[in-house]
């Protein structure tokens, strides 16, 4: 499998969240990305994946922005994180809870099994693992 480079993103809801809550928060970002960042390049991909960091002993849910190589990548990534923060901060907790309750999302155990969501190996494939 090809290795994909990601810029890691967060939401203001991440603190003290369980792994399944993190996945749900991240799926909300994926679903609302056109509203959150309307100027995000069309070739950008937002994925939820299982990965490690130096601060965690085990894999954790991560939200990542993948962009093909481009000269303005760092500017896009920094701006997107600011847009995500601003979008969440402009909404009440009850509004966010209502949006979160309306979406289907994968479970953390599913993401650990497939390693990333959506499973980009299956997007254009006839036979998915």
Residue-wise pLDDT tens digits, 15-38: 788 999 999 999 999 999 999 999
**Domains contained in the chain, number:** 1
∠ at Cα 25 (20, 31), nearest 5°? 120
Residue 49 lies in a domain: yes
Q: Is residue 43 a part of any domain in this protein?
A: yes
Residue 1 in any domain: the answer is: no
Q: Give residue 78's domain range.
A: 7-117
In a domain, 123, yes or no: no
pLDDT tens readout for residues 43-96: 889 999 998 777 777 888 999 998 877 667 778 888 999 999 999 999 999 999
Instruction: Look at residues 82, 74, 116, 105 and name the one whose alpha carbon lies nearest to residue 12.
Output: 82
pTM over cut 0.75 = yes
Q: Is there a domain that residue 58 lies in?
A: yes
Q: Is residue 92 part of a domain?
A: yes
The CA-CA-CA angle for residues 86, 103, 125, to 5°, reads 105
Is residue 47 included in any domain, yes or no?
A: yes
Predicted confidence at residue 2, as pLDDT, reads 47
């Amino acid at each position: 499998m090809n290795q994909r480079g990601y810029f890691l993103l967060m939401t203001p809801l991440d603190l003290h969240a369980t792994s399944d809550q993190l996945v749900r928060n991240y799926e909300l970002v994926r679903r609302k990305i056109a509203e959150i960042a309307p100027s995000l390049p069309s070739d950008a991909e937002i994925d939820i994946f299982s990965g490690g960091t130096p601060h965690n002993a085990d894999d954790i849910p991560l939200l990542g922005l993948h962009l093909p190589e481009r000269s303005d990548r760092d500017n896009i990534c920094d701006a997107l994180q600011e847009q995500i923060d601003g979008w969440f901060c402009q909404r009440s907790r009850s509004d966010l809870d209502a949006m979160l309750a309306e979406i289907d999302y994968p479970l953390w155990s599913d993401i650990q099994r497939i390693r990333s969501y959506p499973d980009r190996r299956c997007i254009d494939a006839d036979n998915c693992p």
